[in-house]
Amino acid sequence: MTSQELSANIQRKKSFLCVGLDTDPKKIPSHLLTNEDPIFDFNKAIIDATADLCVAYKPNLAFYESLGIKGWLALDKTVKYIRQNYPDQFLIADAKRGDIGNTSEMYARAFFSQFNFDSVTVAPYMGEDSVKPFLTYPGKWVILLALTSNRGSQDFQFATDETGLRLFENVLAKAQQWGTTENLMFVVGATQGNMFADVRKFVPNHFLLVPGVGAQGGDLYEVCKYGMNSQCGLLVNSSRQILYAESDISFAKCARNEAIKVQKDMEILLRRKELI
């Protein structure tokens, strides 16, 4: 999927919502637990209830890896279901990989060739040769961690060098030598608020994946005030707020209602920016 196609989906759906599929068997409705594949059944219901309201899905790999082979099989079924039934969705493997070159190549092969994701989140700490293997797949994207939403982001990401640049700014500047606006996005957490203005000084035209709205306390309106560009340029993720809106048999309907609330706010913001 190109950036133009992604932007067209945003305009068509009046939404830049990404639904995070952080599916936890301890939190899904109990009536599903007797099913043969409760994780996939939960995902399928959520997807069917929200697909017209979002432009992307982001399975967090930890939730599937923690279940062993059953989790991997549920992930595979989930990706195939989205591909077959909702081919306009942008699929993000939230894996946060990144290792020496030959290992990164294996990670890239797994997520792009085997699972057919559109993109994968990658940690930049090991530098260019740990990222480049992911960028060799035509039509696929790297989503590089830049400024994250967790409290620990303060530990390293704001450290300054001798020129006064903060570490996350160095990541933004350096990574543009590796990729383009057509294969490289950046993770910037919603809890960073007005820091989005600083991010946009370095990457005015790149898409940003924005976790942290909802349960983590990020503010959608603040994110858009400082982070939205002339093409929107945002994929704002919501996971727990939508997935676990209700724990009984009406869970999918309640998830849809939560997604509608977010989409309506996004529509307002897109109209303010005259993007729709």
Residues labelled catalytic: 96
Distance CA 18, CA 263 (A): 10
Is the separation of the CB atoms in 66 and 60 below 8 Å?
no
Per-residue tokens: 252: 């999918």
Task: Output phi, psi for 119, to 5 deg.
Answer: -155, 165
DSSP strand pairing (119-122 vs 141-147):
parallel
Side chain identity at residue 122, one-letter code: V
Spell out the residues 6+ positions from residue 137 whose beta carbon is closer than 8 angstroms to its own.
108, 112, 113
Nearest to 37 by CA among 50, 23, 49, 48: 23
